[in-house]
Amino acid sequence: NAGVTQTPKFQVLKTGQSMTLQCAQDMNHNSMYWYRQDPGMGLRLIYYSASEGTTDKGEVPNGYNVSRLNKREFSLRLESAAPSQTSVYFCATWTPPNYNEQFFGPGTRLTVL
Amino acid sequence: QKEVEQNSGPLSVPEGAIASLNCTYSDRVSQSFFWYRQYSGKSPELIMSIYSNGDKEDGRFTAQLNKASQYVSLLIRDSQPSDSATYLCAVNMAGGYQKVTFGTGTKLQVIP
């Protein structure tokens, strides 16, 4: 089992370009999350999906959109990238039924020039 | 005031010593508390979770929770160089669907 996978691992964009970060999990978990991690800021929740077909905003949703394509896949889209979106992005899931452990993907390092 | 506060460090301890990492949180009704370890360039991995007041031990790790003081700590006994990493405190704040708030992390350096 791969757990949580993310693609790409690295990406460089120019301001105004768009891209989609992909996340997939093979653990059959319902909930999936997108975080960003910046130096000195900790992990901040962008969007989450409690189950297939639902998505909700987290702490820092501006400039992002998400799609819960199916139970396995949860994508994050930057429509018009800005330098402030330079960050490391992590996808994560929670283990049911007690939600006592969160599994993270390996991350995507994004630089916006 | 930050919702979850940690000293950024670095905290340097000699090999074999006890490392003590501290975290305070602002929301009194928080229910779940987690410690994650994150090696440089890697993703966070859960090492301890604690839900009730007192101590919880797992191998060389002990988590301590004091809800009255809104304080959670992680003790690492017999520290090893491989424990050198950033340790993230995370708290499940009231009112969200498993929406945890993370501290900024404490960098631990274990000196051989």
Asked if residue B92 lies in contact with residue B32, where contact means CB atoms within 8 angstroms, the answer is yes
Strand partners, B12: B109
pLDDT one-digit tens code per residue, A4-57: 999 999 999 999 999 999 999 998 888 999 999 998 888 999 999 988 999 999
Asked if residue A9 lies in contact with residue A108, where contact means CB atoms within 8 angstroms, the answer is yes
d(CA B85, CA B108): 5
Chain B interface disruption, residue of A4, A38, A43, A104, most B CBs within 10 A: A43
- pLDDT of A108 above 80: yes
- pLDDT of B74 above 80: yes
Count the alpha carbons within 13 Å of B51 in the hemisphere toward its beta carbon.
4
Instruction: Decide if B97 and A48 are in contact by the 8 Å CB cutoff.
Output: yes
Instruction: Decide if B8 and A48 are in contact by the 8 Å CB cutoff.
Output: no
pLDDT one-digit tens code per residue, B43-59: 999 999 998 999 999 99
Helix H, strand E, coil C: the string for B12-54 is EEECCCCEEEEEEECCCCCCEEEEEEECCCCCCEEEEEECCCE
B100–A contact, CB cutoff 8 A: yes
